[in-house]
Structure 1
Amino acid sequence: MSAEKAVDLQFVAPHVLQIRMQDRVSKNTFSEGITEGLMEAFAEVERQPDCKVVILTGYDNYFASGGTQEQLMNLSDGRGAFTDRALYSLPLQCPVPVISAMQGHGIGGGFVLGMFADLVVLGRENIYTTNFMRYGFTPGMGATFILPQKLGLALATEMMLSANNYRGEELQQRGIPFPVVPRDKVMAHALELAQTLAEKPRVSLVALKDHLSASLREALPATIAQEVAMHAVTFAQPEVKSKIATLFGA
């Protein structure tokens, strides 16, 4: 993929493919370029028999920023659902291990996307937030499923109910089970980890990932259905549309 595209795919080490989200115009919200680019990139990973590990990362201070204002307004008008394209679960469904190198801010669905990876590296200075309730609607994108799995129920519940911002350093102090390093070291840490995985046979990596993620893949659809049902209720509130219109990007 060319550097001009919103998502760039390239080998950064033997057997290690990097998927880089770089839509500077949208600040890595789930624009059409990001959405199509991610789906194409993960499809290409499956066509690359030499790929053993994927690193998913962003650009500068942004990892991924979640839904666009237009997408959220459409949901508030009852048009479509986040399930129309299952962007959130691409790392989970990928046959080889995926490392989220979250070198920048992870916001809303963008943070959730990173949590669906097999391994995660966070930056100390960055902001991570599940800010759905800031606008008054309940979390989607599988957040209510994957966050308790990866962060623990107590912290995940607090993050989703409060919609507060958390620096990586604060999450580290709260005991999250991921490495948290200076943001300019995130990619190097992820690459070192990827190269360790890439020493293993691809067949074995694929078999082990399939086994470890099987229970997650099986349980996810029921939670997604529940999130969609909550959206039908919570997005319909007039104050939600007002908050999306006035607070988005503030």
Structure 2
Amino acid sequence: MFSSVVRLDEAEAGIFQITMEDRANRNMFSGELIAGLRSAFAEIDANPDGKAVILTGYDSYFASGGTRESLLSLHEGRARFTDLDVYSLALNCKIPVISAMQGHGIGGGFVLGLFSDIVILSLESVYNTNFMKYGFTPGFGSTLIVPRKLGMSLAQEMLLSAGSYRGAELQKRGVPFPVLPRNEVLEHAYGVARQLAEKPRISLITLKDHLTASLRRELPEVVQQELDMHTKTFFQDEVRDRIMNLFGN
């Protein structure tokens, strides 16, 4: 047990599994979950033998984004989403990260998974970028990573409408990821991880660094643009009302 809500296991030689299991908060970004994720990725980066990471959730939840309290802190100007940079942990990890999104990916939770190098979705689960549901513009680097991973047309629809999509629907819409029955997602992730683990570590690190260079270069500017939009959209009374009345619905 790595922490009370995040487990880190070296499941096989060179393959780490990070399991998010904050059942009390349905894997929302509680302080404990964020701290556990940051510590887990730091430990992996310090390990000289790692070759692949599998990031997954529990039961029907992958990750569910910000808590109501954290959204209210943003609305009140007491915090910014950049204060604890959780969204780019997978991007900045030295070795490849596979998001085995066996469960629902909600808002920032879905974005967290998209920042991985390889993404696997489940047919049954719900995925969305629900920021605009609460009346504020998207954050977490979502305006960069969602179009990059899903394509501009689908990304614009998801970001603007804040609609929810089953994995089966996203599969029909042509998302470029495997979309499998929930009980097959983790097994498929291990198959991919074993393929990665056959390669030399230095080669994996070097290629990931090259493949993600443009994304890491662009991300800070986009995040600043998202913060600028938040100064226009997050402090509306309607946003607070929506957070209080719609959260969890």
Normalised to the residue count of structure 2, the TM-score between the two structures is 0.99
- Identical positions, percent: 58
Q: Distance in 2 between matches of 1:82 and 1:185?
A: 33
Q: Distance in 2 between matches of 1:12 and 1:120?
A: 19
User: How far is 1:13 from its partner?
Assistant: 1.7
Corresponding position of 1:80? 79
Corresponding position of 1:31? 30
Q: Distance in 2 between matches of 1:32 and 1:75?
A: 14
SS at match of 2:11: strand
Q: Distance in 1 between matches of 2:214 and 2:110?
A: 21
Corresponding position of 1:132? 131
Corresponding position of 2:153? 154
SS at match of 1:44: helix
* Matching of residue 106 in structure 1 with residue 112 in structure 2: no
**Deviation string, structure 1 residues 222-245 (Cα, Å, up to 9, x no partner):** 000000011111111100000000
* Matching of residue 142 in structure 1 with residue 136 in structure 2: no
User: How far is 1:35 from its partner?
Assistant: 0.4
User: How far is 1:85 from its partner?
Assistant: 1.1
Q: Which amino acid aligns with 1:32?
A: G
**Deviation string, structure 1 residues 138-189 (Cα, Å, up to 9, x no partner):** 0000000100000000000000001011000100000000000001100000
Residue segments in structure 2 that go unaligned for 5+ positions in a row: none
Corresponding position of 1:190? 189
Q: Distance in 2 between matches of 1:107 and 1:191?
A: 24
* Matching of residue 242 in structure 1 with residue 220 in structure 2: no
Q: Distance in 2 between matches of 1:213 and 1:47?
A: 20
Q: Distance in 2 between matches of 1:179 and 1:49?
A: 30
Q: Distance in 2 between matches of 1:80 and 1:245?
A: 18
Q: Distance in 2 between matches of 1:104 and 1:242?
A: 28
Write out the 4+ residue segments of structure 1 that deviate beyond 4 Å after TM superposition. Answer: none
Q: Distance in 1 between matches of 2:174 and 2:53?
A: 26
* Matching of residue 201 in structure 1 with residue 200 in structure 2: yes
Q: Distance in 1 between matches of 2:231 and 2:183?
A: 41
Q: Distance in 2 between matches of 1:64 and 1:232?
A: 26
Q: Distance in 2 between matches of 1:157 and 1:184?
A: 30
**Deviation string, structure 1 residues 25-76 (Cα, Å, up to 9, x no partner):** 0100000110000000000001111110000000000000000000001111
Q: Distance in 2 between matches of 1:177 and 1:14?
A: 29
User: How far is 1:22 from its partner?
Assistant: 0.4
Corresponding position of 2:20? 21
Corresponding position of 1:53? 52
SS at match of 1:84: coil
Aligned length: 249
Task: Report which stretch shifted further, 125-134 or 7-16.
Answer: 7-16
Corresponding position of 1:89? 88
Corresponding position of 1:216? 215
